Structure 1
């Protein structure tokens, strides 16, 4: 019963509020790149559309089909993705991964609200879903940057 209570505590009011308010959920009409990522353990998916300008995200959209934890992460990512460089998105992803796997520091600004997901570090089966939005965004940025170079 204790494990069940811990899981209930994991889904805090803040996580649920973020999950209910995911920004940029309409797909882009003409993205430079569109990437769908799936978490194999739970089946969560995130599809990200991007348009870059000068190596920074100028337009961003996401279609999120994930648990509340994945939705909360996507909410934070969506709130801050526009205007970010690939290096900033990668730093956020790497910091989030370290926070979950090694109890590392909170991701850097403007992604510090991902701290709300720290209690999920004990639920390894949820990590992939939590990382989906950042990983899909990075992959979409890579595809858009490659298309610009071609």
Structure 2
């Protein structure tokens, strides 16, 4: 990777997002907690959440990842409250398509992922970028399954 490509990839905005992580206060007694790890780079994300009426009502994240994974978690953490499982899946799938298939940036309120478009060319970074949303989808699936089995 050339120095110019590294500078482009780790832009000031990515570093700002990584340094300003939302939703980092642990939840007391969360409904679901999911920890995901990227075997390629070792990044880990732990997501805790509650679901009420099918939507995320409380959300916390603990992110140990590269600046790109942190920036991605920062974008998703700002917009994820109030979303239902279909919306979280759609944004995760949209981000994956943006990275792997040169797809469009996910729609607002997740359009902050635009900052990560330079990472398309760096496949070894994709897993870390997707980690927070992968964990969020898994947590939502567990919460919805628990709710269904309790009814």
1:67 aligns to 2:66 (yes or no): yes
Structure 1 segments, 4+ long, off by >3 Å, are none
- The CA distance in 2 between the partners of 1:97 and 1:112, in whole Å, is 14
TM-score by length of 1: 0.97
Task: Name the TM-score, length of structure 2 as normaliser.
Answer: 0.96
Matched, 1:147 2:146: yes
In structure 1, the partner of 2:20 is 21
Shift of 1:4: 2.9
- Quote how far apart the aligned CAs of 1:146 are: 1.0
* Displacement after TM superposition at 1:30 (Å): 1.1
- C-alpha distance in 1, partners of 2:64/2:142? 22
Unmatched 5+ stretches in structure 2: none
RMSD (CA atoms): 0.9
SS in 1 for 2:51: strand
Residue in structure 2 matched with residue 3 of structure 1 by the alignment: 2
For structure 1, the 5+ residue unaligned runs are none
Q: What's the CA shift string for 1:87-126, capped at 9, x where partnerless?
A: 1111111110011001100112110100110000000000
Report the Cα distance in structure 2 between the residues aligned to 1:115 and 1:8, rounded to whole angstroms.
16
Structure 1 position 81 matched with structure 2 position 80? yes
In the TM superposition, 1:105-120 aligns within 5 A as 105-120=104-119
2:133 alignment partner in structure 1: 134
Structure 1 residue 24, shift from structure 2 partner: 0.5
Q: Secondary structure at the match of 1:144?
A: helix
Distance 1:58 1:22 in 2: 18
Q: Deviations over 1:111-149 (max 9, x none)?
A: 010011000000000000000010100000111111112
Q: How many residues align?
A: 149
Query: Secondary structure in 2 aligned to 1:48?
Result: strand
Alpha-carbon displacement from aligned partner over 1:45-100 (angstroms, at most 9, x marks no partner): 00000100111000000000000000000001110111011111111111100110
